[in-house]
Every structure is written in structure tokens, then in C-alpha cells.
Amino acid sequence: MKRICMKTKEELKIDIENVLNVLRQGIAMHGGNVELVDVDGETGIVQVRLQGSCVGCPMSDVTLKAGIEDTLKEMIPEVKEVVQVV
């Protein structure tokens, strides 16, 4: 499998956390949070865990895909997909 990420896993995690820190402000306004669980530099898949009021919220899929995933993909080209883990 061809490596798509030229950054180390730790560099990628730092970049993702920096973007998530900005996104967390908006999510926190609704009583939620997002935790970075893991990132795979080979596939570009980021695993996150939604917390607080995001758990069980009917809009959490929109927050995950249209909010978190779209922003991470725009800001960090190595990110290809964001998936939620429990």
C-alpha cells in the first residue's frame, strides 16, 4: 500500500488537534466535545469520539461529516475520512 502521508503520525496528530481545538469551541456551545482517538497516516482515516450532548444527538452525524470531517479534509490534505468510534 502506498503511503499517502509525508508527515509522521505525531505531526499529523498535532495538526488535527490544532484544528479540533478551534472546532471544539463551537461544539462546546452546544454542550458537546470531540476527542481524537487515533489517526492512520497510511489511509488518512481519523478516528474521533463525540462526547457530551453529542452522544445520542440526531445531528451528530451532520456534526461529524459536514463539520469535523469537511474542515479537517480542507485544512489537512492527508485526512481522507473521519470515523466515529465509541
Q: What domains are defined for the chain?
A: 9-84 (3.30.300.130)
What is the spatial distance between Cα 67 and Cα 49, in angstroms, rounded to a whole number?
14
Quote the pLDDT of residue 84: 96
The pLDDT score that the predictor gives to residue 2 is: 52
What is the reported pLDDT for 72? 98
pLDDT at 43: 93
Strands 32-40 and 81-84 come out as unpaired
Average pLDDT per consecutive 10 residues, the chain (86 residues; last block may be shorter): 68 97 95 96 95 92 94 96 95
* Whole-number pLDDT of residue 49: 97
